Amino acid sequence: MKPDNPPPAEPTLRYRVPPVSGNVVSGVGEAKFRRPSLVFHWSPGRKPHPWFALDMHFTMISGIGGPLFGWGSLIQRLRNMWQLRRANGPVAATRKPVDDPAAMAAEIKALVRRLGGDCIVGISEITDAARLEGGDLPYRYAICIGMPMDRHVMEHAPQPRAGTEVMRAYRRVARVAIEVSEHIRAMGWPAKAFGETKTTDLLQIPVALDAGLGQLGKHGSMISREFGSNFRLATVATDLPLVVDAPVDIGVEDLCATCRRCTLDCPPGAISDTKTLVRGTKKWYVDFDRCAPYFSETGGCAICIEVCPWSEPGRGPKLSETLLAKRAARQERKQAAAAE
C-alpha cells in the first residue's frame, strides 16, 4: 500500500498467522460509504477484533507494564477509568425546556471553558461516520472538547513520560466531559460522556471535525489552530437541543500538500503523501498494518503529532493566517491571469 515508503520495522509481537489487514477492516479501497468497524482499542462488551492480541499487548505495556514503561500511565488510566463510572447515569425526571438552542449552546460552551480552562469546544450533529458498526449511540448531538498536552513532556515521545502525559490529558478532558454530562442529565436531558481511547460506540475525530475543532492532517490526526495536534479529545453525546458549529478551514491542506515532516519521521513509514479512498471518501489515512505494531511496541508512539509544525506552541494562528493569505493571493493571481 505504501510504495513511497521504506519497509515496516519488525514488530515486537508477531502473529503466527498474520491477522486480516487492519486496512481491509477499515475499508481501504471501498468506494461505498459504510459505518466504521472497530479495528483497535477493544473494550469489554465488544467481540474481539482481528488485532485483539496486539491490542492487549499494547494495553499491557502501556498500562500494567509499569516496570518497563513507568507507572504514571497506569495510574492516570486507572484514575480515568474510576471517574468514567459517572459517564452516564439517571436523567432528572423534570426536563428543563429549551426555547433557544443557540443560547443553550453558548451556555454549555461557557460551562466547558469554566471547567476545562485552556480548551477548545464545538458542537456537531452525530452522523453515521462517527457511529461504530454494531454499537448503540442513540443521541443527536456531540459536544466535542479538546485539551492540550504538556508540549515539553510530549517532545519526548515515544518515551514513557509522553505516554503518561497522554493518559493525564485524557483523564483531565474526560473529567470535563463527565461533569458536563452530569449537568445536562440534571436538566432532564440524556447525555453520556466519552473520555478515553477505548470507546465502544463513538469515533471522536469525525464529530470533532464537523464541530470545527480543526482539520485532519496527513498524519491522520486532527490539527487545531490553537494546539496543532498536541491535544486530546473527549465528547458528550446528548439530545439536549443545541445549535451546531461548522467545520473550519485553517489551511491544513495547503501545508500538508508540501510538508513531509511526519511522512519522513514516522519510523515504520505508515504515513502516505497521497490520500486514500476509505469507505467512500478520499482522505488522509495512516497505514494501520505499519503503524499499529510500532505504536504498540512503544506504548503509544505519538511522534507524528509532535513533529508536526502546527504543534509548536503559539505557532498555529500565525501559520493559519499566512497559509490562508497565500492561498487568497494565489487565487487572485489566477483570476487576473484568466481575465487577461
At 232, which amino acid appears?
R
Q: Quick check: 205 binds ligand SF4 (CB under 6 A)?
A: no
Question: For ligand SF4, which residue of 261, 281, 312, 327 counts as binding (CB under 6 A)?
Answer: 261
User: Do residues 246 and 123 make contact, with C-beta atoms less than 8 angstroms apart?
Assistant: no
**53, 81, 205, 259: which one binds ligand SF4 (CB under 6 A):** 259
Q: In the chain, which ranges are E strands?
A: 120-125, 141-148, 191-194, 215-216, 222-223, 231-238, 276-278, 281-283
Does the protein bind ligand SF4 through residue 266 (CB under 6 A)? yes
**Least distance to ligand SF4 from the beta carbon of 286, Å?**
5
* Helices 160-186 and 101-116, axial angle in degrees (round to 10): 140
Stretch that binds ligand SF4, among 107-115, 130-138, 170-178, 307-315 (CB under 6 A): 307-315
Identify which of residues 140 and 327 has a Cβ nearer to ligand SF4 in the complex.
327
User: Under the criterion CB under 6 A, does residue 303 sit at the interface with ligand SF4?
Assistant: yes
For residue 62, the minimal CB distance to ligand SF4 (Å) is: 13
Is 233 a binder of ligand SF4 (CB under 6 A)? no
According to the binding rule CB under 6 A, does residue 262 interact with ligand SF4? yes
Question: What is the DSSP code (8-state) at residue 271?
Answer: B
For the record, the C-alpha cell of 115 comes out as: 471547567
Residue listed under C-alpha cell 464529530 = 207
Q: Which residues contact 240 (CB under 8 A, 6 or more apart)?
A: 98, 104, 108, 141, 184, 187, 189, 191
d(CA 24, CA 36): 11
Count of positions (residues) in the chain: 340
234 or 303: whose CB is closer to ligand SF4?
Answer: 303
Does position 219 interact with ligand SF4 (CB under 6 A)? The reply is yes
CB of 197 to ligand SF4, least distance (A): 13
Count of residues that bind ligand SF4 according to CB under 6 A? 25
Q: What is the DSSP letter of 245?
A: P
Q: How far apart are CA 113 and CA 176, in angstroms?
A: 9
Instruction: Give the Cα separation of 118 and 296 in Å (integer).
Output: 30
The answer to the question of residue 294 lying near ligand SF4 (CB under 6 A) is: yes
Is residue 304 a contact point for ligand SF4 (CB under 6 A)? yes
SS3 91: coil
- Check binding of 61 to ligand SF4 (CB under 6 A): no
CB of 271 to ligand SF4, least distance (A): 5
Other C-beta atoms within 10 Å of 96: how many?
Answer: 12
List 182, 244, 309, 327, residue binding ligand SF4 (CB under 6 A): 309
Residue 112 three-state SS: helix
Query: Amino acid identity of 178?
Result: I
Q: Under the criterion CB under 6 A, does residue 216 sit at the interface with ligand SF4?
A: no
| Residue among 22, 217, 251, 299 that touches ligand SF4 (CB under 6 A) | 217
Verify binding: residue 255, ligand SF4, rule CB under 6 A.
yes
Q: Which is nearer to ligand SF4, 9 or 81 (CB)?
A: 9
**Residues that bind ligand SF4 in the complex, under the rule CB under 6 A:** 217-219, 255-256, 259, 261-262, 266-268, 270-271, 286, 291, 294-295, 301-304, 307-310
